[in-house]
C-alpha cells in the first residue's frame, strides 16, 4: 500500500458505492437533503400561508437563514479544524433536528409566531454554516484526490434527487397536514444523517492537534490564501455575485408562483422539483464534460450555454406558460450544479491540507455573505417594483455573473491545476 492510498478505497471499476464509508456519507447526506428540500418549500409557505407574510417578511426570513455566514463564517473554519470535522457534523445535525422540530410543535399548540420562525431560521442557519464547511473539508478525509470529482458528483446527484422528491413531498404534506408539518420530516432527516456519520470508520476523522496560533491569525491566513490566488479569487467573485442573484430571485419565487402565476401552494414544490431534475443531469455530466473539454473550459461552457435559459423564468404566464418557468429552471440549475461539482472538487484538491478548513470557510463565507443581502434586496424590490421586474433583474444578474470567470485565468487554461505549487500566487 502506498502512502497516498486509504484503507477501504474501492477499486476504480467498482465505483464509490463499493466503499462502505462513502455509502454511509452519501445516504446520510441524501436523506438530510431530502428533509431540507421539504423545508425549503414548507418554511416560506408557513410564513406566507399560515402567518400571511408579505414580500419583505419573506425576504427577511430567507436572509435569516444565511445571515450567520456573516457572523461566524470566518472563525468556523478554525473551530472545525480544532474540534474535528466529523464531531462538528454530528453535533450540527442534532442541533438542527431540535430546531426544526420546534416549529410544528409550536404550530400544533397554537403559539407559532413569525418571531419564532426568524429565530429558528437564524439558529439553524448558524448550524448550517458549520455543516456546509465541514462537509466540504470532510470528503478528502475519505477519498483520494483522483476520486473527489466522482464523490462530489455522486453527493450532488443524490442531493438533486432528494430535491426532486422533497418539493413534491412538501406539497403533499402542506395539502394534507399544513405547511408546518413538513419541518418535522427535516428534523428526522437530520437525525438519520447524524447516525450515518457515527457509523463511518475512522480514517483521518479524529480531531487534530490544536493549532497554537491565535484565532484571528488563522482566519487571516485563510483569507489571504484565497485573496492572493488568481483561481480561487475568481471562483470566489463569481460565487458571490451568482449567490446574490439567486437569493434575490428565490426570495420572491414562491410569491411569484402563487400570486403572479396562480399556482396552488401544494403545486409549488412540484415546480421546484424541475430545478432539482436539472441538478441531477448537471451532476451526472460533470465528469464526462471535464474529460471531454477540461475542467476550466467545461465550467465556462456550461455557464455560458445554459445560463441564458434562466431568462425563461420571468417570461412565464399563468396556465401552460408555467412550463417556461419549469424548463428554464431545470436547464439553469443543471449548469450551476455542474460548475459547483467541478469547482468544489478543484478546491479540495488544490488547497494544502493544513489550510483546507480555513480556506473552505473563508471562500464559503465570502460567497454566502451576499445571500442575505440578495434576499433582503429581492424582497424590498418586490414591494417597490413588483414581483416580475425583480425576477428579471436577478436572473439577468445571474447570467452576467459568468463573465467574471470568462475574465479570469480560467479562460487561458484547459484544466484547473491539481495542486497549489506557489507559482499561482500573485
Listed residue (257, 253, 254, 252) closest to 381, CA to CA: 252
List C-alpha distances in Å: 135 to 25, 35, 84, 362, 369: 10, 17, 11, 14, 18
Buried b (16+ CB within 10 A) or exposed e, 343-370: bbbbbbbbbeeebbbbbbbbbbbbbbbb
Q: What is the number of other CB atoms lying within 10 angstroms of the CB of residue 55? A: 24
The answer to whether position 425 is within a domain reads: no
Summarize pLDDT for 283-317 with one digit per residue, the tens.
888 889 988 998 889 899 888 888 788 888 888 88
Query: Collapsing DSSP states into helix, strand and coil, what is residue 413?
Result: coil
| Cα radius of gyration rounded to whole Å, the chain | 21
Question: Which pLDDT score is estimated for 191?
Answer: 92
Q: pTM for the complete prediction?
A: 0.72
Listed residue (37, 22, 15, 426) closest to 232, CA to CA: 426
| Contacts with 372 (C-beta within 8 Å, 6 or more apart), sequence order | 62, 63, 64, 66, 67, 69, 70, 247
Question: Which pLDDT score is estimated for 209?
Answer: 58
The count of structural domains within the chain is 1
Question: Which pLDDT score is estimated for 167?
Answer: 61
The answer to whether position 2 is within a domain reads: no
Which domain, by its residues, includes 90? 17-203+215-412
Instruction: Kindly state the DSSP code that residue 316 receives in the 8-state scheme.
Output: -
249: number of CA atoms within 13 Å, CB side? 24
Residue with cell 399563468: 318
**What are the φ and ψ backbone dihedral angles of 315, each rounded to 5 degrees?**
-85, -5
Rounded Cα distance between 171 and 106, Å, is 21
Question: Which pLDDT score is estimated for 241?
Answer: 92
The answer to whether position 74 is within a domain reads: yes
The answer to whether position 10 is within a domain reads: no
The answer to whether position 418 is within a domain reads: no
| Contacts with 157 (C-beta within 8 Å, 6 or more apart), sequence order | 279, 280, 283, 284
Residue with cell 407574510: 53
For residue 307, give the CATH number of its domain: 1.20.1250.20
Rounded Cα distance between 45 and 109, Å, is 18
| Residue ranges of the chain with per-residue pLDDT less than 70 | 1-14, 49-50, 52-53, 163-179, 202-214, 266, 269, 421-426
Question: Which pLDDT score is estimated for 211?
Answer: 59
Q: Are 92 and 76 in contact (CB under 8 A)?
A: no
Summarize pLDDT for 239-278 with one digit per residue, the tens.
889 989 988 888 888 888 888 888 877 677 677 777 778 8
Question: Which pLDDT score is estimated for 207?
Answer: 47
Q: Are 144 and 18 in contact (CB under 8 A)?
A: no
Query: Collapsing DSSP states into helix, strand and coil, what is residue 13?
Result: coil
Q: Are 357 and 133 in contact (CB under 8 A)?
A: yes
The answer to whether position 391 is within a domain reads: yes
The answer to whether position 112 is within a domain reads: yes
Listed residue (325, 313, 308) closest to 403, CA to CA: 308
The answer to whether position 1 is within a domain reads: no
Amino acid at each position: 500500500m502506498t502512502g497516498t492510498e486509504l484503507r477501504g478505497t474501492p477499486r476504480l471499476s467498482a465505483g464509490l458505492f463499493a466503499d462502505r464509508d462513502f455509502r454511509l456519507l452519501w445516504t446520510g447526506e441524501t436523506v438530510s437533503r431530502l428533509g431540507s428540500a421539504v423545508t425549503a418549500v414548507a418554511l416560506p409557505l408557513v410564513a406566507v400561508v399560515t402567518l400571511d407574510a408579505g414580500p419583505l417578511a419573506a425576504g427577511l426570513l430567507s436572509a435569516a437563514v444565511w445571515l450567520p455566514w456573516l457572523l461566524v463564517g470566518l472563525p468556523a473554519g478554525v473551530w472545525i479544524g480544532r474540534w474535528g470535522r466529523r464531531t462538528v457534523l454530528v453535533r450540527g445535525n442534532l442541533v438542527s433536528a431540535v430546531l426544526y422540530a420546534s416549529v410544528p410543535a409550536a404550530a400544533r399548540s397554537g403559539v407559532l409566531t413569525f418571531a419564532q420562525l426568524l429565530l429558528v431560521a437564524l439558529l439553524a442557519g448558524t448550524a448550517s454554516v458549520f455543516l456546509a464547511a465541514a462537509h466540504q473539508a470532510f470528503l478528502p478525509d475519505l477519498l483520494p484526490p483522483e476520486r473527489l470529482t466522482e464523490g462530489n458528483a455522486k453527493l450532488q446527484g443524490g442531493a438533486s434527487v432528494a430535491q426532486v422528491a422533497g418539493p413534491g413531498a412538501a406539497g403533499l404534506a402542506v395539502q394534507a397536514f399544513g405547511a408546518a408539518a413538513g419541518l418535522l420530516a427535516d428534523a428526522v432527516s437530520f437525525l438519520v444523517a447524524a447516525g450515518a456519520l457515527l457509523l463511518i470508520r475512522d480514517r483521518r476523522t479524529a480531531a487534530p492537534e490544536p493549532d497554537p496560533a491565535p484565532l484571528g491569525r488563522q482566519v487571516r491566513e485563510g483569507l489571504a490564501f484565497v485573496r492572493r490566488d488568481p483561481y480561487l479569487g475568481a471562483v470566489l467573485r463569481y460565487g458571490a455575485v451568482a449567490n446574490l442573484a439567486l437569493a434575490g430571485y428565490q426570495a420572491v419565487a414562491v410569491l411569484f408562483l402563487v400570486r403572479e402565476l396562480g399556482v396552488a401552494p401544494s403545486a409549488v414544490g412540484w415546480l421546484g422539483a424541475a430545478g432539482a431534475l436539472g441538478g441531477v443531469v448537471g451532476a451526472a455530466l460533470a465528469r464526462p464534460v471535464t474529460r471531454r473539454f477540461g475542467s476550466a473550459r467545461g465550467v465556462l461552457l456550461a455557464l455560458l450555454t445554459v445560463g441564458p435559459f434562466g431568462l425563461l423564468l420571468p417570461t412565464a404566464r399563468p396556465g401552460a406558460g408555467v412550463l417556461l418557468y419549469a424548463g428554464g429552471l431545470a436547464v439553469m440549475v443543471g449548469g450551476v450544479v455542474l460548475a459547483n461539482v467541478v469547482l468544489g472538487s478543484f478546491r479540495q484538491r488544490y488547497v494544502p491540507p493544513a489550510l483546507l478548513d480555513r480556506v473552505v470557510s473563508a471562500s464559503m463565507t465570502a460567497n454566502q455573505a451576499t445571500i442575505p443581502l440578495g434576499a433582503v434586496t429581492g424582497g424590498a424590490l418586490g414591494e417597490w417594483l413588483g414581483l416580475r421586474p425583480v425576477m428579471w433583474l436577478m436572473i439577468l444578474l445571474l447570467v452576467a455573473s459568468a463573465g467574471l470567470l470568462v475574465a479570469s485565468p480560467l479562460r487561458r487554461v484547459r484544466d484547473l491545476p491539481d495542486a497549489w505549487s506557489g507559482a499561482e500566487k500573485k
